[in-house]
Chain A
């Protein structure tokens, strides 16, 4: 594992070298470390790049780390990872991706994560994306997540992209069976000429399935963001999506919701609010002694916490 990977790992996860559980560290399209545990097996895919993560039914309280790092320009990494989460599990998956460039050429990671979540299983999925390095080459991360949720399964997905990624297109597709719940919390900050696009499509197929999608983002400088969410309700279900964006300087944010109800008992709601920092919030913090700049920084820090 090289030094840059170590730095990136520290930024996207709290992974420690002496970690006892299952992990797989991907570095510039190669494997820089792997370990299976008794309940979580990791092995190579046979039909392409990437790994299979198999979590045995009933596994509880374990964490598995699957980070990917691109440490130099001129790497175009593609990985297909399949996660099988057995019945009744309760586990945490820490993915995340760090991209570093030192040259003029771009560095890119395209990760396709496919989650099959069995009955009653619970998953907390965390992914943090970051770009670093002095290079002028674009740092690009395009994560794709497919989620298939069986009856009464539960997934929470926390995704964060705070710094240094020049271009990102995040695609998330989920299908929920009866009683399944998917919670997504997304946080994005873009600056300079960065571009970030997120695209969710969630099919609420089963009775009493539900999803709650919350996106908070800040667009500074000349950066642009697009938030797209499509929710399809095919049964008595609950879908709620929320896009809350702060724009600064010349930032541009679009929120494009699409709700389709195929059933009279499908309750689908979308809320979007885009605007600058509220003047009264700045006034309040300044009245506590903060300068306008300090107040702004504090408001954004809280907003994206």
Chain B
């Protein structure tokens, strides 16, 4: 179980002073759940998951994983506790191959023939021909959609306790998109694992157990899919704006 307690994040914004990106977020992600975070661009979704992974430090608030306060742990320590994170914008490496990164993710040796071959299954699952990609460099020669799928494969290879995917659908074609849904469905089968997906895709929202709506740095909705989705789809424009009820300026 992951708990966020009063998480706020602000950055200094030059002359304008402090800019609040997240305001007092309280949230619990239960085990064996597929939770989808959605909401308008710039709402703070990526920032929130970076805070969970330890890439950003919250200005205030605590992060608790399975009862342990991990707020002061760094990225490596959190990764070792089982947090795995597929970036919205995957990173490219000159010289490191797809198999090198998958091996690091899975904690195996890329030079070992058997283990190398076993890594191929992760590529299959994201709809990539393993033979074609496994030994390729993870550099600028890969297209956006290709590298995005490899990023997802890496996160799967981690076999982590909490898997986070930031807009996994971006740049992915329709056929792979079906695969992607299967990937999340399969991962969910495993107990004691939670999956947190940031997405705008209706089809991903449809397979969620829970939906969280984040807008302008505030958590405006968190509930079971059945409750949140109809309202979300019925809303138009700035329906989930936190100022909604007061009327939006």
A interface residue numbers (CB < 8 A to B): 216, 244, 278, 280-281, 283-292, 298-299, 301-305
A193 to chain B, nearest CB (A): 26
**Residue contact B55 to A289, C-beta cutoff 8 Å:** no
- A298 adjacent to B104 (CB under 8 Å): yes
Query: Per a CB cutoff under 8 Å, which of B84, B94, B97, B104 touches A303?
Result: B94
Check B96 for interface membership: any CB of A closer than 8 A. yes
The tally of residues in B whose CB lies under 8 Å from a CB in A reads 25
| B96→A287 contact, CB < 8 A | no
Q: What is the count of residue pairs linking A and B with beta-carbon distances less than 8 angstroms?
A: 59
Residues of B within 8 A of A291 (CB): 76
B95 at interface, CB cutoff 8 A: yes
Q: How far is the CB of B100 from chain A (nearest CB, A)?
A: 6
Known: A283-B75, A298-B96. A288 touches B104 (CB 8 A): yes
A302–B110 Cα gap in the complex (Å)? 13
Assuming A281-B93, A302-B94, A303-B93, what are 7 further A-B pairs, CB within 8 angstroms?
A244-B94, A281-B91, A286-B75, A287-B79, A287-B85, A291-B76, A298-B96
Contact of B96 among A216, A289, A292, A299 (CB under 8 A): A299
A302, B94: Cα distance in complex, Å = 7
Query: Chain B's nearest CB lies how many Å from the CB of A165?
Result: 21
Does B53 sit within 8 A of A, measured CB to CB?
yes
Least Cβ distance of B226 to chain A in Å? 33
15 residue pairs bridging A and B, Cβ less than 8 Å apart: A216-B95, A244-B94, A281-B93, A284-B91, A287-B84, A288-B154, A288-B158, A289-B104, A292-B76, A298-B100, A302-B95, A303-B93, A303-B95, A304-B95, A305-B95
Q: Mark B73-87, 1 if CB is under 8 A from A, else 0.
A: 011100110011101
B88-109 CB mask vs A (1 if < 8 Å, else 0) is 0011011111001100110100
Q: Is the CB of B100 within 8 A of A288?
A: no
How many angstroms from the CA of A289 to the CA of B106 in the assembled complex?
Answer: 10
| Cα A10 to Cα B84 with chains together (Å) | 41
Q: What residue of chain A has the Cβ atom nearest to residue B79's Cβ?
A: A289
A286 touches B76 (CB 8 A): yes
Residue contact A287 to B75, C-beta cutoff 8 Å: yes
Task: Point out the residues of chain A lying under 8 angstroms from B87, CB to CB.
Answer: 284
Identify the closest chain A residue to B97 (Cβ).
Answer: A302
A302 with B96: CB separation less than 8 A:
yes
In the bound complex, do residue A286 and residue B79 qualify as a contact, i.e. CB atoms below 8 Å apart? yes
In the complex, A216 Cα to B95 Cα: how many Å? 10
Query: Is A289 in contact with B95, judged by CB distance below 8 angstroms?
Result: no
Task: Give the nearest-CB partner of A244 in chain B.
Answer: B94
Q: Please give me the residue from chain B that is nearest to A285 by CB atom.
A: B104
User: Which chain A residue lies CB-closest to B55?
Assistant: A283
Report the minimum CB–CB distance from B67 to chain A (whole Å): 21
| Given A283-B55, A299-B96, A302-B100; A289-B76 close (CB under 8 Å) | yes
**A287–B100 contact, CB under 8 A?**
no
Please, which residue of chain A has its CB at the minimum distance from the CB of B103? Answer: A288
A residues in contact with B91, CB < 8 Å: 278, 280-281, 283-284
Residues of chain A lying within 8 A (CB to CB) of residue B104: 285, 288-290, 298
When A283-B75, A302-B100 are in contact, do A288 and B105 touch as well, CB less than 8 Å? yes
Chain B residue, CB-CB nearest to A303:
B95
Neighbour of B74 across the interface among A286, A302, A303, CB < 8 A: A286
Point out the residues of chain A lying under 8 angstroms from B105, CB to CB.
288
Task: Return chain B residues, CB-CB under 8 Å to A301.
Answer: 95
Complex Cα spacing A91 to B55, Å: 51
B107 lies within 8 A of A289 (CB)? yes
**A283 CB contacts on chain B under 8 angstroms:** 55, 75, 91
Q: A283-B55, A284-B87 are in contact. Are A289 and B93 (CB under 8 A)?
A: no
Q: How many whole Å from B33's CB to the nearest CB in chain A?
A: 22
In the complex the two chains form, what is the Cα distance from A284 to B147 in whole Å? 13
In the complex, A291→B74 CA distance in Å?
A: 10
Could you say which residues of chain B place their CB within 8 Å of the CB of A299?
93, 96
C-alpha gap A284/B93 in the complex (Å): 10
Residues of B within 8 Å of A280, CB to CB, are 91
CA A162 to CA B138, docked complex, whole Å: 23
